[in-house]
A and B are shown apart, each in its own frame.
Chain A
Amino acid sequence: MVAAVLGLVGFLISLYLWLWKVGLLGALVCGDGGCEVVQLSEYAELLGIPVAFFGMLAYLVLLALSLLGLQPRWQERREPTVGLVLVAAVGVVYSAYLTYLEAAVIHAWCRWCVASAVIIASILVAAVLGLRAMGRPAATRGTAA
């Protein structure tokens, strides 16, 4: 459940940044303009596609996996949670790279990007905890992922 809520919030943040990137929104609500500097940098695109778009896709997959894992017939199976761990791990690695770029190369902070990095890391933690809980007897499990 935690992963699903976080996945939805992450998706909304990515959607917001993507809509701005393609020119459908006004000024970014960001505070000091750092979001715009980061979003206009060369690192905000990958293969000519806004990074925020890939973020949207990743969060959609995470949301779908989280919801799948909550369905009665999937609750005892590890696949959705393993999928969450794998997708979130890739997301954390790429978010860490982007955060490094903000700090060391672009010299500007995009608060929405930082929020997204925190969210993807939290999803990874929740998914790992959920996976570990699956190894324990059913009576002691929570529903972290």
Chain B
Amino acid sequence: MAQSMNLKPFYVVLGVIALVGAAAIWMARTDGSAVEVGPTPVSATSFPGHVLGSDSAAVEIVEYADFECGACAHFAILTLPDIKQRLVATGRVRLRYRDFPLPGHSQSPAAHMAAACAGEQGRFWEMADQLYFGQQAWVRDRRPARRFEQYAEAIGLDMKQYEDCVDEDRYAAQIAAGREEGMTVGVNSTPSFLIGGLLVAGSISYDSVVALVRRAEGATAR
């Protein structure tokens, strides 16, 4: 016969491991890490970012993002379409994209320049989609410029104007300004979001965005 073991201490150890793991995962949720920030000091000459939505929307979501950041692509692919369709298109929210290229991302400056040059022709959001959905392809390219040109063609840009813009680094100062402005409000990772005075980091879910928008709407109504 098998010797009967007292398994209770073992079950206690398993339970402790399960609890610690569950607590760690729970704390990784983004909602708990929102930080309240004061009004953003924006100078008259600073770049306002790329805006989508109505000027009269009660709430503005400011996203600080890097085109080479995987979590930013995750957010852009999984969550942003819902935000555009259900919050921006209905006039409830205005979305503002601010460039926040991270220092360690070598392809990022070129990607942000491609998006800014597309923005010059009113196609920033279309280029942003191309960059995020194609991130896996260009992030490994030694010279991603050719692929960005393909994206530019695909979204119907005037290629001469686009190429001149990229060659001149026409928006380098504005991109740098976006990053500086983000650092002023405390951004230190991407994506980060400023919603109703709360700064939240990470690829937050649509439900989290809605909760923060509701909170901001409540604050606006008071």
B136 touches A40 (CB 8 A): yes
Task: Determine if A25 is an interface residue (Cβ-Cβ < 8 Å).
Answer: yes
Complex alpha-carbon distance, A7 and B201, angstroms: 31
Task: Determine if A48 is an interface residue (Cβ-Cβ < 8 Å).
Answer: no
A41 touches B74 (CB 8 A): no
Task: Determine if B206 is an interface residue (Cβ-Cβ < 8 Å).
Answer: yes
* A41: B residues at CB distance < 8 A: 136
Contacts between chains A and B (CB distance < 8 A), count: 89
Per-residue contact bits, chain B 20-63, to A (CB 8 Å; 1 contact, 0 not) = 01101100111001000000000000000000000000000000
Contact partner, A26, options B7, B69, B78, B203, Cβ 8 Å = B203
Task: Determine if A47 is an interface residue (Cβ-Cβ < 8 Å).
Answer: no
Closest to A28 in B: B71
Task: Determine if B79 is an interface residue (Cβ-Cβ < 8 Å).
Answer: yes
B206 CB, nearest partner CB in chain A, Å: 7
Per-residue contact bits, chain A 1-31, to B (CB 8 Å; 1 contact, 0 not) = 1001100110010011001100111111100
A36 touches B29 (CB 8 A): no
Chain B residues near A (Cβ < 8 Å): 2-5, 7, 10, 13-14, 17-18, 21-22, 24-25, 28-30, 33, 69-71, 73-74, 77-79, 104, 135-136, 139-140, 189, 200-206
Instruction: Name 27 A/B residue pairs within 8 A (Cβ), A-sorted.
Output: A4-B10, A8-B17, A8-B18, A9-B21, A12-B17, A16-B28, A23-B79, A24-B205, A25-B30, A26-B28, A26-B29, A26-B201, A26-B202, A26-B203, A27-B71, A27-B189, A28-B71, A32-B104, A33-B69, A33-B70, A36-B70, A36-B71, A40-B136, A70-B5, A72-B2, A72-B4, A76-B2
